[in-house]
Amino acid sequence: MIEILGYADRLAVRPGMTIAFKVSCETGAARYRADIVRLRCGDDRPDGPGFREEPVADAAANGDYPGRRQAIDCGSYVRVGPAAAFDAVDSFTLSALIWPTLPGLDEATVMGRWSGPAETGFGYALAIDGASRPCLRLGDGVRVWRLVHPVALAARRWYRLLASFDSATGAASLHCEPVTPQWGDPVFRPTAGRCPLRPLSSGPRIADVPVAVAAHVVEGGQGTWRGAGHFNGKIEAPRLHAQALPAEQIGQILSTPLTGPSAASLVAAWDFSRDIPGTKARDIGPNGLDGDCINLPTRAMTGHAWTAEAMNWTNRPHEYAAIHFHEDDLYDCAWETDFRWTIPPDLKSGIYAARLRCGNQGEDHVPFFVLPPRGHARAPVAFLASTATYLAYANSHDHYEDPVAERCHGLTVLAPADLFLMQRRDLGLSAYDHHRDGSGSCWSSRLRPILNLRPKRALWSLNADLHLTDWLEAIGQEYDVIDDETLHREGVSLLERYACVMTGTHPEYYSTAMLTAMAAYLERGGRLMYLGGNGFYWRVAWHDELPGAMEIRRGEAGTRMWTSEPGETGLATTGEPSGMWRHSGFAPQRLVGVGFISEGFDSGSYYRRLPDSYDPRAGFIFAGVDEEILGDFGVFGGAAALELDIVNPKVGTPPHALLLASSEGHSNVYVIAQAETGANHPGMDGIESPLVRADMVFFETLKGGAVFSTGSIGWAGSLAHDNYRNNISRITENVLRRFISPEPFPSSAGTR
């Protein structure tokens, strides 16, 4: 059981900035202890370097704090108001187009003005009941009355819905019809009834209640609202009229709400094709009642009128007028702050954490990255923390939910954090997970506890990258820490003050601004040590209005756990195509000489030196290294492990690049990546295919710069072997010392 967990309002801070920590004591502990620590190594396994942290003894945030359990309001929806225009509604019509993905579960609200539980609340709502049938729900705060349509809806089909109520007579009507009728459909006819109670649609009690789409609201305490009764699926063109309209007007109401006989009673008509990158649901009706999109629903979704003639929302926004809502979407846990810490001006850049402890064994580390002051570098080398990749994997369920996981990883071993996440999907998903309705998770956010973004966890992402900072400390090299999100915001100016930039083990996810900045850094003479594998692979975007929110779509190729629906590979935030950077014309080989080829999770292997390693240009790399076999050791069984990259001149490896070494001896668990072959065929694994390998590469760039690439996630796992006295450590240090030297590299253009 996880006893205590927390998160911070920032991942990256600079001296003088204040970071706020939010904590929840899950088992009800009355008090907990917080201490600021500097993380050096997170590997606490018996065969690893050992867990190392350094207390920041004089941190003002250190101390005991009162404990409490904090709740999470997950699930996406649109919330509007309250507004005076809603208070004037007595008789009404609710209408929308819907594409349900999980009908038949608990009753789900499509839209309405409803407060409280579905069985005891008050107001009015259009919903789908637990038997997949559309229903109109009316309540007075004591009793609830429903008008239910007799036809159950199918998943993943578009329907028009309309529900009306006449307050003068109590007459209610409900109509549903498929947008595209199919053979075998039941007959869809309007259903009518007379409500015996007076629903609370106006008056002082409901005056503070907002209208919601894809959920209804319940009181969250202290004047706040929480979502409930979440709808899973797409919704398009929700409308509210202050009149009971006949069912035969449904087509006109949904397509042309501003004209025709229904226009005079229009209260709101939300058009989800407007302002797709933003956080507002725009109302094109007379009152301008824009709504707030809560918890990152997925926008730029194909609507009922999508023709497949446009594959990106920027070309025909009106065909992308739907939003896909999920009950397990999450942007911000919105916990109250427990304590804050202002970063001292002289604090050393590095990876830090708030260590939280309660009870006898409860412990959590909330990591954050302390950057140097803006515009300054305090060391010649910067370690670039792959925070985009950290978010992509944040709270991933994949390694124990994927039905083929054990065939790839061996016996599944579950840590306490995994067991906790199984029960707590309200902590949000990773970009590798499926939502409960089976759709892929396009968003990830840092404003929540991320249980695999911790030391003492599996050797992946941050915990694997701490092998690199541990090594830098061991060799006595001063370094600054910078991060992906700051790189996206500040561009090349963040990099250009450093002689050398060192990546983490897995810099897989890059935005356009990040990749542009890295390319510009190299063009200006920077030196890059790419010490990982499967880097610069997926194209992502950061939300301009929501700090810490990152979006991805997964297209027609690439090693992936899910695939975007047809026409939905364009990023809502930018309109850019997502998917592999290679398919956007920028293969990783253009930047670092190597790109992803294979992955395997049984055991790593070694590198063998190649003739290019004896080229005088590479002499500094192998100074003091006499062995031909490199890295036949390490926590992963070898330095070439997990995910591997190779050269490919066809897609961008520079012609003057030196292929220094290649790995060999991989098992049949390593298979050529799907995107690298036109068709599956025998002989694609590490035993039979010469393509399954990691390539070590060096090349010079213009203006005295250079790139060194290892082509393996597992490289850093070999650095600490034999107390850091080994050929992998020696090669890495040789490269680093030369890369931070002011001596420029000579141009090698046209030579080989």
Rounded distance between C-alpha atoms, residue 614 and residue 724, angstroms: 24
pLDDT tens, residue by residue, 402-428: 776 666 667 778 888 888 988 999 999
pLDDT tens, residue by residue, 217-256: 998 877 789 999 999 999 999 999 999 998 888 888 888 8
Tokens of 584: 């956007």
pLDDT tens, residue by residue, 537-572: 999 999 999 999 999 999 878 788 778 899 999 999
Rounded distance between C-alpha atoms, residue 435 and residue 413, angstroms: 23
Decide: 178 and 134 in contact? Cβ < 8 Å: no
Amino acid identity, position 574: T
Range in 31-40, 60-69, 685-694 the model is least confident about: 685-694
Mean pLDDT value across residues 457-467: 94
Q: Which of 136, 146, 143 lies closest to 121 in space, CA to CA?
A: 143
228 φ/ψ angles, rounded to the nearest 5 degrees: -155, 165
77-325 belongs to CATH 3.40.190.150: no
Rounded distance between C-alpha atoms, residue 626 and residue 636, angstroms: 23
DSSP state letter for 475: T
pLDDT tens, residue by residue, 657-695: 999 999 999 999 999 998 888 778 888 888 999 999 999
Torsion angle of the four alpha carbons 406, 409, 410, 416, in this order, in degrees rounded to the nearest 10: -80
Backbone angle region of 246, left / alpha / beta, with phi > 0 → left and psi within -120 to 50 → alpha: beta
Half-sphere exposure of residue 542: CA atoms within 13 angstroms, side-chain side: 21
pLDDT at residue number 692: 94
pLDDT at residue number 230: 98
Range in 83-87, 548-552, 590-594 the model is least confident about: 83-87
For 334, the enclosing helix (H) or strand (E) is none
Q: Are strands 480-483 and 509-511 parallel, antiparallel or unpaired?
A: unpaired
371-409+427-740 belongs to CATH 3.90.1150.10: no
What is the 3 state secondary structure string of 91-118? CEEEEEEEEECCCCCCCEEEEEEEECCC
Decide: 388 and 514 in contact? Cβ < 8 Å: yes
pLDDT tier at 751, thresholds 50, 70, 90: very low
**Fold observed for domain 4-36+56-72+333-369:** Immunoglobulin-like (2.60.40)
What are the Cα distances from residue 495, in Å, to 64, 391, 538? Answer: 39, 21, 21
What mean pLDDT, rounded, does the chain reach? 94
Half-sphere exposure of residue 195: CA atoms within 13 angstroms, side-chain side: 31
Rounded distance between C-alpha atoms, residue 714 and residue 664, angstroms: 14
What are the Cα distances from residue 488, in Å, to 142, 484, 549, 725? Answer: 53, 6, 12, 36
pLDDT tier at 203, thresholds 50, 70, 90: low
Domain ranges of the chain: 4-36+56-72+333-369, 77-325, 371-409+427-740
What are the Cα distances from residue 131, in Å, to 138, 160, 465, 747? Answer: 18, 18, 49, 71
Task: Name beta bridge partners: 444.
Answer: 550
